[in-house]
Structure 1
Amino acid sequence: MAMSFGTRADTRILRLLGLLPLNGESWNGGRSCLPAVQMALEDVNAQSNILQDYNLTFKYVDTECTSGMAIFRMFESLNVDPPYVMVLGGMCSVASEATAEVTYLWNLTQFSCGSSSPVLSDRKRFPRFFRITLPDQKHKTARIDLMRAFDWKKVATINQALEFFSAVIDDFVREVQNTEITVISQEIFENDPLTRVKNLKAYKVGLYGPKIVWIFFGWYSQTFWRNNLQGFDCGEEEMSAVVDGSFITEEAYKNPKEERGIANMTASEFEHRFYNYHAYDRKYESYNFVAHTCYDTIWVVALALDCTVREMDQRGYAKTLDMFTYADADVNDIIFDCMSNTSMTGVSGSVAFTDSDPDKIIEIERIQDGKREPVGLYRQDKDPSYFEWIEDAIRWKDGIIPRDSTYVRYEEIGIPPTLFITMTSLAGLGSALALSFLTFNIIYRNNRYVKMSSPNINNVLLLGCILSYCTVFFKVTETSSGTLCKVRVILFSLGFTMTFGALFSKTWRVYRIFTNKKLLKRTIKDYQLLAIIGAVVAVVLVVLIVWETIGPHMVETKYLPKDIYLIGNDAEVYPYVRVCLSEYSEYFAWILYIIEGMLLTFGAFLAWETRHVQAVRTNKVSSDDQAMSTRITTVGGNQTSELDANKPRSISQNIESN
């Protein structure tokens, strides 16, 4: 089908060829575009200051929104009809791609009022193509700035493996790589996204809620999440839960500002006139969103052609624009340059071009309470671009802006203050008591009864207790100092060795005297016991020095994954503890275990062997060596006999003085 209109007598005619999708099974948006084009032609031809002495005419053919039909009917018109100065269309991306690859061969500039395919931005492939509709890749800046506005620095993408979608996502990813935003995943599927996001069942896999913000293109239907759910095991309620809070970036098809543009009409005034226009058919009202851009398309063309007429006059061309032929490459260059530099404000908003694409206002919508609601504008038509938010339009869940990922908070599990205070108080009390005993031993060291208790050995025992008590005060759970770890290990090891070494040395002395079956006088002096204690302590000290030299103790953080818990919807708390560790702990610790274990085992043996010994009396004091002599006497009668092993035995300790 081919029709033309706009001709007026007694003027030079400039012919435009329109490629409109009017019929077919795909998209019939041309039905709403056609009345708007007719209105624009009437308004432009009525102007006396634009294209003076010229008259714009428009012939259109039905592309049926297919590449084959678009090519066929365009070729037919170009070969049969008088020359056209420009081609308008073809609204559908497939039709525009097919025709824009060849129109430049006729030295024609093509201008589309639709076609958002990103591939049409390729100047090498489509050298003479313009469009008034914002391509999908021009949304990338709005989306990146949207993420920055809410401090979102992580993004994942998913798209079908088609050139139309892949080009948009690839362009977005390239742009993001030059920012502080990180692309954590880029998923692509062919026909079934099951392997990527479980058939996009976001509700089933948990990809919804305050922690997940979806961003969609605006050309989806107003209730796309409720449509065509047959064959899915997600119901309308589940789908609504998934998309709730999602953002939508959409080209502003009509001027969001009530301002009068080149046609001296606001967007609202245009709509009123359009709905009452004689050629308007309400049967196609679902395509009404294209009417504003179709109307402005004619005005942009008129301004570009008016610029061309003036430029040809300035250059002194012998012929006028209505005499254009497909051999006039130089004239087409002027038309192309004028199109590139054309800018205006119309009923669809501000129109200006960057290469083949316009810089237009982007509407920001958000799905809230089950419907799409406008929340702001992205003024891409301004330099620099910026957001104009509608006050209080965004309603965040719980009044909190969601984070771009789960917020992780690390929480140290330390010793409870009450427990730490209790234990340090007890340790302090024990230390004070040990110090008081030590002071008593020193002050009354010459007292006969004190001397009988082997005060030198007792002092070593008390010092070992004090060292062990001191380890309680060194808390490594809330510090990063490795020195505290070293001090704690050394103090406890030496304190334990000194305490039990002193205790068992005294027991050993009793054992040696008790096992003296020949009843000989046996003297074991304190320095001998101190030498034994010193030897054991020296061995332990050597082990500790080698340990800290080869693999020193350091404070390390241990996380407790089994104890992770949530705070709200987007915060996780990771508990951790700080512990003292050494690279060779398992080796040196076992060495100490063996040494101390042998000490404890030997002490237990001595305790068992001397379990029946009783101290009976003391009668001598030795001040220098504090030697101990033992006289074993019978328990009853005047006769000396062998000790009965089955009865309690007695030891008379004489600590003599020189």
Structure 2
Amino acid sequence: MCLSINGRKPRPILELPPRFGVPTPIWRSPGCSYTLLLYSVTALRHEVTHLHDVCPHSTSPTCKKKLYIGALFPMSGGWPGGQACLPAAQMALDLVNNRTDILPDYELELIHYDSMCDPGEATKLLYDLLYTEPIKIVLMPGCSSVSTLVAEAARMWNLIVFSYGSSSPALSNRQRFPTFFRTHPSATLHNPTRVRLFQKWGWTKIATIQQTTEVFTSTLDDLEERVKEAGIEISVRQSFLTDPAVAVKNLKRQDARIIVGLFYETEARKVFCEVFKEKLYGKKYVWFLIGWYADNWFKIKDPAINCTVENMTEAVEGHVTTEIVMLNPETVRGASNLTSQEFLAQLMSRLGGKNPEETGGFQEAPLAYDAVWALALALNKTVAPLRAKGWTLEDFNYNNKEITAEIYRALNTSSFEGVSGHVVFDAQGSRMAWTLIEQLQGGSYKKIGYYDSTKGNLSWYGNDKWIGLGPPADQTKVIEEFRYLSQKLFVSVSVFAGLGILLGIVCLSFNIYNSSIRYIQNSQPYLNNMTAVGCVLALAAVFPLGIDGLHVHRSQFPVVCQFRLWLLGLGFSLAYGSMFTKIWWVHTVFTKKDEKKEKRKHLEPWKLYATVAVLLAIDVLSLLIWQIVDPLHITVEKFTKEAPKEDLDVLIQPLLEHCSSEKMNTWLGVVYGYKGLLLLLGIFLAYETKSISTEKINDHRAVGMAIYNVAVSLTAGYFYICSTKRPHSVIRRLITRGEWQSEQQDTLKTGSSNNNDEEKSRQLERENRELQKIIQEKEERVTELRNQLAERQALRSRRRPSVQNQNSVSSSRAEPPSYSPTTDKQSLPASFSNSSNLYQDEGKLSRNNCHNSRLPLLYK
């Protein structure tokens, strides 16, 4: 038992530096001597780790203690921002270390690695930073995926994480990332700008396509909430992991117009290569992209795509980007005593003349520069509070929460002017800044405005340019266009109807004038008069049938509907009813076999008139009930959308006004059923009386022929309409095709050649046939392979007995006297009995030594 000098159990006077946040007290050692030795070594290690920068002569004015910053700069990968951000951070460190009013007793040193913007690589580098001396007081990761990993683990070591290039909204979660700060604002700061632009250009329907990473998923979730509050709909939402081809095709298929793209720069080239292939660009489309890509990102040759630079330039023209203001537009000297233009000049000098457009992270370089300054000012602010508590910055270790808390408070209250603008952090540690709006015009980005989301202020330059006449519509604009009866057709038919009415009046006048003539008397002139009146009424119905919204006001249209119904219904009942009465009377009188034929042949005219009156009364009663119970009203019917002849981003929605009622089909069924029975009965009676000859009604054969004509005319039209795939094509032939087509097409063209629905249907049918053909070819191939397999199995089954006999003969000749085959076979498992000869001295198989027993293994 280890005791101290006074005989008591020793207290843990020192703790080893923690591994994964678990301290190791030294009194757990097994013996006193070992404890004292370990204490001495640990104390020495503590001094070396924390005080190795303490100057041997404290009176020297140039002597400074070093504070180390562990940084991860992505020099390659999805976002190679370290190419410009690392020189900018080193510029800031040089200026800070030369200042006498900021951390005068300390020197900041940067220990950096290339994370390649890869979380897996960053995990290894984070381990090296934490478990390789010296101790780092702050960690500085770059891209969002790496920052997510580092910031979530850093709290276990009580480390502040300060990022210069992370925009993931998920990093604003203080419960998950309690010590995280960033000079790059959250990506959600783009969303208020996007919503404001949607409202400015009058868009209420957008589409999105995203790379499936946390930063873009959380950004899109935030955008979805914001657009829903603004009354904007996300109609299409597509995502992809590595290949965006299917997602872009779906955007095209679902008629996406205003598209928000969220992906890294390398994936952006893949997306727009597919955009070029699908023709998802031009005057009908607007793309919203992230603004932190390199200015020439679409001109960089990428072996992962098969599009030329010209193709990419054509596809990306006119897209809009939103980016945080990363360079102060005003000439202001901030904490570093440099203006933004002076900073750019020094950065260009440090980059050695590299093209900024080809240098990754050039736009974010001011953020890295200000990140170092924000950290230096915060550390400088903690010196006095820590001294009051008896601490110094060099006392920091991974188990010291007090120093971390002081640094956190100093960063949280930071506020200074940097080269990127005013630097201040919100409660989640994210930078608050303006948003820059740019548009690609002629292959280069042009500033078109700024947006301050905190105040809702949009500063607009008014220099936005569009490929078309202006901002495109968020969807295909549908123009509703009422179609009216062709006026030429209406006039021509009305002329013929008028001539028919005139002829009916002439016939009626002639019949009345010559009613005393015996020949006319024997034809029942009163029924003939009814037929003429019925024909006149039916022909008069042509006029209200041709009247539409072009001639009368919408409120007067129900009256036109009534005229159509009553004129046509009563006209048919009078015209056909009188002919039906004649043929029915002839059949009744001259087909009965009774003894008193002469008496039966006496014609009583009042019965004929009564029959017509009954038929007419049935019509009147049914029409009255129809109009009282379910009156006719105007109904607007929509036809299939059509594309205009000109290259316009619109579709024509043809509309047709016609008369209808709630139970139109029921009423038409009653009327058509009643009149259809009369028509069938009339045909039957005309056939039955074709051989009868009588002087009482001397025109009954002509009446029979008239009934046949009525039947043929009605049934031919009915079957033509019913046999047509689209019954309304009969009506569409009668309506105009619009102002953009000639009137010759009005009467001859029966359908739209630009029917989008039909084109889609035909395209799907073609794809279906192609897939069926492929499936059929695959099935044939499978059948062929199965047949080959069956043939080989049959061949093996035929050869196996003969080969086995040969093997038995050869083995019997070569067997030594002491060989026992039964014993050998029993010593091996059954599964190896057929393949025991497979392993020969040569060590491989050939055609000459391929044994039949090895075939199952070779074909397996």
Q: TM-score range by the shorter chain?
A: 0.7 to 0.9
Match of 1:152 in 2: 203
Contact 2:207 2:234 in 1 (8 A): yes
**In structure 1, what is the equivalent of residue 783 of structure 2?**
none
Output aligned runs, 1:331-370, within 5 Å. 331-354=403-426, 355-369=428-442
For the residue of structure 1 that corresponds to 2:162, the secondary structure is strand
Give the alignment of 1:145-544 within 5 angstroms: 145-198=196-249, 201-228=274-301, 230=303, 232=305, 234-276=307-349, 280-282=351-353, 286-287=359-360, 288-308=362-382, 317=389, 319=391, 328-354=400-426, 355-369=428-442, 371-380=443-452, 383-392=454-463, 394-421=464-491, 423-424=493-494, 457=527, 460-461=530-531, 463-475=533-545, 478=549, 485=561, 488-502=564-578, 505=581, 524-541=603-620, 544=623
Q: Distance in 2 between matches of 1:460 and 1:587?
A: 24
Q: Secondary structure at the match of 2:203?
A: coil
Structure 1 or 2: more helix by fraction: 2
2:180 aligns with one of 114, 129, 138: 129
More deviation in 530-539 or 499-508? 499-508
Matching residue of 1:70: 125
1:551, distance to aligned residue in structure 2 (A): 8.0
Query: Structure 1 residues 143, 542: CA separation in 2 closer, same or farther (over 3 Å shift)?
Result: same
One-letter code aligned to 2:445: E
**Offset of 1:406 from its aligned partner?**
0.9
Correspondence for 1:99 among 150, 156, 160: 150
Residue 80 (1) aligns with residue 140 (2): no
- Structural mapping, 1:8-47, within 5 Å: 9=61, 15-21=67-73, 29-30=81-82, 32-41=84-93, 43-44=95-96
Q: TM-score, normalised by structure 1?
A: 0.75
Question: Is 2:672 the partner of 1:589?
Answer: yes
Give, as a single letter, the amino acid of the residue that structure 2 aligns with 1:384: K
**1:638 aligned partner:** none
Please name the residue that 2:30 is paired with.
none
Secondary structure in structure 2 of the residue aligned to 1:399: coil
Residues 526 and 311 of structure 1: CA distance in aligned 2, closer, same or farther (over 3 Å): farther
1:467/1:26 CA distance change after superposition, 3 Å: closer
Aligned to 2:775: none
Equivalent residue of 2:167, what SS?
coil
Q: Secondary structure at the match of 1:398?
A: coil
3-state SS in 1 of match to 2:238: strand
Q: What is the CA-CA distance between 1:555 and the residue it aligns to?
A: 5.2
Listed as ranges, the gaps of 5+ residues in structure 2 are: 1-51, 250-269, 699-860
CA contact (8 A) 1:251 1:361 kept: yes
CA positional deviation for 1:22:
7.6
Aligned CA distance change for structure 1 residues 135 and 458 (closer, same or farther; 3 Å): same
The CA deviation at 1:131 is: 0.9
Q: Is the 8 A contact 2:414 2:425 kept in 1?
A: yes
Task: Tell me the TM-score normalised to structure 2 length.
Answer: 0.59
Secondary structure in 2 matching 1:114: coil
The 2-side partners of 1:497 and 1:367 are apart by: 74
Distance 2:674 2:143 in 1: 82
CA deviation vs aligned residue, 1:256-293 (integer Å, no higher than 9, x gap): 344444445432222123334xx554458514334322
What is the identity, as a one-letter code, of the residue corresponding to 1:357?
S
Q: Please report how far the alpha carbon of residue 254 of structure 1 lies from its aligned counterpart in structure 2 after TM superposition.
A: 1.9
Contact preservation (8 Å) 1:14, 1:321:
no
What does the per-residue CA deviation read over 1:481-528, in whole Å, with 9 as the maximum and x for residues that have no partner? 667546523431221111233356568889999999988897645433
For 1:114, the equivalent position in structure 2 comes to 165
**Shift in alpha-carbon separation, 1:229–1:410, aligned structure 2, 3 A:** farther
Aligned mates of 2:237, 2:192 — CA distance in 1: 18
Q: Compute the displacement of 1:87 (Å).
A: 1.2
Q: Deviations over 1:445-482 (max 9, x none)?
A: 99968996977546644543453244334347546966
Amino acid at match of 1:500: Y
Residue aligned with 2:202, SS: coil
Helix, strand or coil for the counterpart of 1:209?
coil
| Corresponding residue number in structure 2 for 1:634 | none
Q: The residue matched to 1:140 in structure 2 has which SS?
A: helix
For structure 1, list consecutive stretches of 5 or more residues without a partner in the other structure.
616-658
The amino acid that maps onto 1:71 is: L
What is residue 769 of structure 2 aligned with on the other side?
none
User: Does the 8 Å contact 1:463/1:499 carry over to 2?
Assistant: yes
Secondary structure at the counterpart of residue 197 of structure 2:
helix
1:337 and 1:378, CA in 2 relative to 1: closer, same or farther beyond 3 A? Answer: farther
Q: Which amino acid aligns with 1:420?
A: F
- SS of equivalent residue, structure 1 residue 358: coil
What amino acid is the match of 1:245?
Answer: G
Instruction: Give, in whole Å, the separation in 1 of the partners of 2:607 and 2:373.
Output: 114
**Higher mean Cα deviation, 209-218 or 15-24?**
15-24
Q: Structure 1 pair 148/344, CA: closer, same or farther in 2 (3 Å)?
A: farther
CA contact (8 A) 1:378 1:385 kept: no
Post-superposition Cα deviations, 1:173-204, rounded to whole Å, max 9, x if no partner, equal 34434332222222233333444335852333
- CA drift of 1:51 comes to 4.3
Structure 1 residues 507 and 558: CA distance shift in structure 2, 3 A? same
Paired with 1:492 and 1:102, the residues of 2 have a C-alpha distance of 87
Deviation of 1:357 after TM superposition, in Å, equals 1.8
Distance, in Å, in 1 between the alignment partners of 2:74 and 2:299 is 28
Q: How many residues align?
A: 597
Aligned to 1:80, what secondary structure does the other structure show? Answer: coil
| The structure with more strand, counted as a fraction of residues | 1
Q: Determine if contact 2:73/2:142 at 8 Å carries over to the other structure.
A: yes
Q: Is 1:571 aligned with 2:668?
A: no
Cα 1:611–1:253 shift into 2, 3 Å: farther
- Given that 1:61 and 1:73 are in contact with CA atoms closer than 8 Å, whether structure 2 keeps it comes out as no
Cα distance, 1:531–1:94 mapped onto 2, change above 3 Å: closer
- In structure 2, the CA distance between the partners of 1:257 and 1:572, relative to structure 1 (3 Å rule), is farther
Distance across 1 between alignment mates of 2:510 and 2:637: 45
Would you say the 8 A contact 1:457–1:526 is kept in 2?
A: no
Contact 2:74–2:143 (CA<8 Å) still a contact in 1? no
Asked if the contact 1:408–1:572 (Cα under 8 Å) also holds between the matched residues in 2, the reply is: yes
Q: RMSD between aligned alpha carbons?
A: 4.6
Alpha carbons of 1:379 and 1:56: their partners in 2 closer, same or farther (altered >3 Å)?
A: farther
1:117-145 CA distance string (max 9 Å, x none): 44433322221011112343432222232
2-structure distance, mates of 1:469, 1:214:
60
Distance 1:284 1:400 in 2: 34
Change (3 A) 1:230 1:299: closer
Contact 1:216 1:246 in 2 (8 A): yes
Are residues 259 and 178 of structure 1, via their aligned partners in 2, closer, same or farther at CA, if it must alter by over 3 Å?
same
Identity over aligned residues, as a percent? 27
Matches within 5 A, 1:50-65: 51=102, 55=106, 57-65=108-116
SS at match of 2:473: coil
1:344/1:462 CA distance change after superposition, 3 Å: farther
Q: SS of the counterpart of 2:177?
A: coil
**Contact conserved, 1:350 with 1:361, CA < 8 A, in 2?**
no
